[in-house]
A = this chain, B = another copy of it.
Amino acid sequence: MRKESSTNALNEKLLKDTCGMAYALSILGGRWKPAILCRLVHGKMRYSDLKNSIPHISERMLIAQLRELEKDQVIRRIVHAVVPPRVDYELTELGQTMKPLLSAMSNWGNMHRSKTVPEHELTKEECLLTSEEV
């Protein structure tokens, strides 16, 4: 449970309120959010498909990060009245506006991580956003 009046919280709020970049980063930041967003950019996904497509993610973490993205209005949650349960997630209109940004980040990251990660440690890129997809 987050405190609302800690120095920490107040600093965060101040920075988010005065700096667009800090605001954007507060929305995108989170261990598993990049992986989630990179998948949803390609289109609506079912919870279980999303979970199965991300190696090593726990249900606890997946749901927590989805809930945050939903709260920030970047994604929407679509519940189907079926059994077994079915829940889909997709980018909202606001989320769609992030596509150019997500693509720029992905491209920059892919272009430059090879500068700092030894080549024999480079692994298959699983998250590719190209300009055609934006």
Contact = CB atoms under 8 A, between A and B. Distances in A.
A39 to B, nearest CB: 10
A74 B106 CA distance: 17
A16 B126 CA distance: 11
A133 interface: no
Contacts of A101: 104-105, 108
Interface of A: 11-12, 14-25, 28-29, 31-32, 34-35, 37-38, 55-56, 72-73, 94, 97-98, 100-102, 104-113, 115-117, 121-129
A97 B125 contact: no
A116 B127 CA distance: 28
Given A73-B116, A97-B112, 11 more contacts: A14-B56, A18-B124, A20-B111, A20-B125, A22-B34, A22-B109, A23-B110, A25-B25, A25-B28, A29-B29, A97-B108
